Amino acid sequence: MKFSITVTLKKDVLDPQGKVVQNTLQNLGMNNLKSVRQGKYFEIEINDQDVKKAEKKIDDMCKKLLANLIIEDYKIKKI
Amino acid sequence: MKFSITVTLKKDVLDPQGKVVQNTLQNLGMNNLKSVRQGKYFEIEINDQDVKKAEKKIDDMCKKLLANLIIEDYKIKKI
């Protein structure tokens, strides 16, 4: 069973990395850019058969390691 | 108009960062892990009204800056 996880900074947290990407894109001549935010992406495959159990496990992983809940949000999707 | 972009290493490219995450998760007691791959995630907002034009622009950004096409794939999704 495969899951995709996206971890993004919360809306009100400054994102200097995204800002740098935005500036670079503008320097490359891309205009009309409103905002760029960068995050992390994981694809995790686990051997569990039970979807609910698997989702619970992935959620645990996010809480324990993948996301910093103070400044980040995460989304889990089965793929 | 807002797009999400995920950039992932191609299937055959080694992912040491993902491997480290996988090992750490296993050390935390998560078993049944089959694989962990890590990638990049971007949320880009642009002011264009025309969806096709906007998508073309985002595609350009990926090719020019966000993804290294030799070792990475990217996916664009309107959100």
Residues of A whose CB is below 8 A from B45: 33-36
Q: pLDDT-derived band of residue B75, with 50, 70 and 90 as boundaries? A: very high
Q: Which CATH class is domain B2-78?
A: alpha beta
- Tell if the CB–CB gap between B40 and A38 is shorter than 8 Å: yes
Nearest-CA residue of chain B relative to A75?
Answer: B41
pTM score, whole prediction: 0.91
Where are the domains positioned within chain A?
2-78
Q: What is the pLDDT of residues A26-38, one digit of tens each?
A: 999 988 899 999 9
User: What is the distance between the alpha carbons of residues A63 and B19, in angstroms, rounded to a whole number?
Assistant: 19
- What φ, ψ does residue A18 adopt, rounded to 5°? -65, -40
Q: What is the pLDDT of residues B16-39, one digit of tens each?
A: 999 999 999 999 998 889 999 999
Residues of B whose CB is below 8 A from A33: 44-47
A18 touches chain B (CB under 8 A): yes
Three-state SS across chain B? Answer: CEEEEEEEECCCCCCHHHHHHHHHHHHCCCCCEEEEEEEEEEEEEECCCCHHHHHHHHHHHHHHHHCCCCCEEEEEEEC
Inter-chain contacts counted by CB atoms under 8 A, chains A and B: 97
Partner-chain residue, chosen from B41, B46, B61, that has the shortest CB–CB distance to A40? B41
The ipTM assigned to this model is: 0.90
Is residue B10 a contact partner of residue B67, using CB atoms and an 8 Å limit? no
B38 touches chain A (CB under 8 A): yes
CA angle at residue B6 from B3 to B7, to 5 degrees? 135
A55 touches chain B (CB under 8 A): no
User: What is the distance between the alpha carbons of residues B25 and B41, in angstroms, rounded to a whole number?
Assistant: 21
Is residue B34 a contact partner of residue A46, using CB atoms and an 8 Å limit? yes
Q: Percent of chain A having pLDDT more than 70?
A: 100
Is residue B62 a contact partner of residue B5, using CB atoms and an 8 Å limit? yes
